Amino acid sequence: MTIATQESDVLDRVATGLFIGGEWVEAEGGRTLVVRDPSTNRVIKEIADASPADGVRALDAAVAAQASWAATPPRERGELLRRAFDALIARREEFALLMTVEMGKPLAEARGEVGYGGEFLRWFSEEAVRITGRYGTNPEGTGRMIVSQRPVGPSFFITPWNFPLAMATRKIAPALAAGCTVVIKPAELTPLTTIAFVQLLEEVGLPKGVVNVITTSSSSTVSAPIIADPRLRKLSFTGSTEVGRKLIAQAADQVLRVSMELGGNAPFVVFEDADLDKAVDGAMIAKFRNIGQACTAANRFIVHEAVAEEFARRVAERVRAMKVGRGTEEGVQIGPLIDANAIAKAEELVADAVARGASVRVGGSRVEGEGTFYQPTVVTGVVPGSEILRQEIFGPVLAITTFTDEDDAVRIANDTEFGLVSYVFTEDLARGHRMIDRLESGMMGLNVGVLSNAAAPFGGIKQSGIGREGGPEGIHEYLDTKYTLLPL
């Protein structure tokens, strides 16, 4: 079967409706939205475009299913997730192709995301049966203290376009494990993978109303009434800090529990004692994975002046050899950016850096023709104050600035309102440990360029977010702690 036939088969199988109360239904008034392939800009699917009333209907369904899902034995909740994991891995190729077509990432990376996204299903299938509490005597010796954990309740998820599968499973799996029902609104640019994943959940026995999906081109008007509804108990958002701030403000009216996975501006610090082979390998993955469109993407390469030129030479050589093209083509490492705005942003940031004195070593412009492609780029000699050091680039541009000593490196690395992840390359163990304490971020890669793992707590500090996804911590985002006292 040709790749084109496989693509159309995969796209044909994706449902076109909203998923509410276990039924696939049309949006109010039969409204639809179109989804495009960013590598060609062609329409690949037309799906339901939910109204605010559709959103509230989805919440009605989640509320109706909450009590019985919370009462479902943890083992059964876990086994549903485990069946979903097995089914997803068995259909890895289909899900990878769908993601590549709607989002643009190279097929090899899409396969990796199926593995990564799937691991949240497996991990939380195992965590569902480990929700525990405490029992003890109070210090006065007059009472018995019981601490138990209850599901938070109906939860609303808003997810971004850059990791269409993993951002959905990272929220749905812990919520289901904890006994919470869900309404999920995927990004309008890449909604198909979430729809296909929920079809898979349905096939492996998802009870009606436990997960509901609304796709819409009017994110804010559809989300606002759900967030304002007193029956909602939890809002979990992954996306930009700008939108996250607005959602926190809306959530404040209900004093809603929130989890926020927001933007980043990751420093990638290369000390003079670093193993440069490791640093270059780490840089390539930390920068160019997902075409640079990751919240964890290295945004600022802060390199000791003694090794900066050699580091730049080596990364430039690797970047020059990268293959740009449609993600389905063999050997492609750089697919399209998500849309024309992303191209414009990369162009503006590079132009600003160059105007302030930086040099473009490789790339530096868009690729003319169909689709939204930008060349993988290396910019050296970036001076403090450049916009490229302040904003999330979200594209395949590797920007290098230099430092002179450790205090200087720490000051530059922490000079941002973000605090998601930092990367440090050094062969000095004591220095590595000092960096764990000194760098202001929720996560750190020490001599590694990629660190996400379902067994680890993913999340940021400062304006990069609130809460953690994955690890033993992940399920607590969906549990309330209850303390009970009874006489001894």
Residues annotated as catalytic are 261, 295
261 binds ligand NAD (CB under 6 A): yes
Q: Which C-beta is closer to ligand NAD: that of 179 or that of 470?
A: 470
Q: Which of residues 90-119 bind ligand NAD (CB under 6 A)?
A: none
Distance CA 2, CA 14 (A): 19
- Nearest-CB residue for ligand NAD: 239
Gyration radius of the chain's alpha carbons: 23
Q: Residues near 325 by Cβ (< 8 Å), separated by ≥ 6?
A: 39, 332, 334, 335
219 binds ligand NAD (CB under 6 A): yes
Q: How far is the CB of 293 from ligand NAD (least distance, A)?
A: 7
Cα 60 to chain centroid distance, Å, stands at 27
Cα 128 to chain centroid distance, Å, stands at 22
Q: Which C-beta is closer to ligand NAD: that of 106 or that of 325?
A: 106
Q: Which of residues 434-453 bind ligand NAD (CB under 6 A)?
A: none
392 binds ligand NAD (CB under 6 A): yes
454 binds ligand NAD (CB under 6 A): no
Count residues near ligand NAD (CB under 6 A).
Answer: 26
Q: How far is the CB of 231 from ligand NAD (least distance, A)?
A: 18
Q: Which of 151, 174, 239, 381 binds ligand NAD (CB under 6 A)?
A: 239
Structure tokens that stand for 405 in this block? 């000593």
Q: Which C-beta is closer to ligand NAD: that of 32 or that of 219?
A: 219
**Beta carbons of 485 and 135 less than 8 angstroms apart:** no
Q: Which of 38, 174, 376, 465 binds ligand NAD (CB under 6 A)?
A: 465
DSSP code of residue 418: E
Q: How far is the CB of 256 from ligand NAD (least distance, A)?
A: 14
Q: Which of 114, 180, 283, 295 binds ligand NAD (CB under 6 A)?
A: 295
246 binds ligand NAD (CB under 6 A): yes
Terminal CA-to-CA distance of the chain, rounded, Å? 71
372 binds ligand NAD (CB under 6 A): no
Q: Which of 47, 210, 262, 332 binds ligand NAD (CB under 6 A)?
A: 262
CA dihedral 10, 16, 159, 232 (to 10 degrees): -140
160 binds ligand NAD (CB under 6 A): yes
Q: How far is the CB of 26 from ligand NAD (least distance, A)?
A: 20
**Beta carbons of 462 and 418 less than 8 angstroms apart:** yes
420 binds ligand NAD (CB under 6 A): yes
* Residue whose pair of structure tokens reads 């304006």 in the numeric block: 463
Query: Which of the stretches 69-77, 235-243, 366-374, 479-487 binds ligand NAD when contact is defined by CB under 6 A?
Result: 235-243
- Residue 309's H or E segment, with its range, is helix 308-320
Structure tokens that stand for 220 in this block? 């804010």
Q: How far is the CB of 327 from ligand NAD (least distance, A)?
A: 18
DSSP labels for 134-170?
A: EEEE-TTSSEEEEEEEEE---EEEE--SSSTTHHHHH
Q: How far is the CB of 50 from ligand NAD (least distance, A)?
A: 12
Structure tokens that stand for 376 in this block? 């993988």
Q: Which C-beta is closer to ligand NAD: that of 287 or that of 304?
A: 287
Q: Which of 39, 100, 238, 426 binds ligand NAD (CB under 6 A)?
A: 238
DSSP labels for 43-83?
A: EEEEEE---HHHHHHHHHHHHHHHHHHHHS-HHHHHHHHHH
The footprint of ligand NAD (CB under 6 A) covers 158-163, 185, 187-188, 219-220, 223, 238-240, 243, 246, 261-264, 295, 392, 420, 460, 465
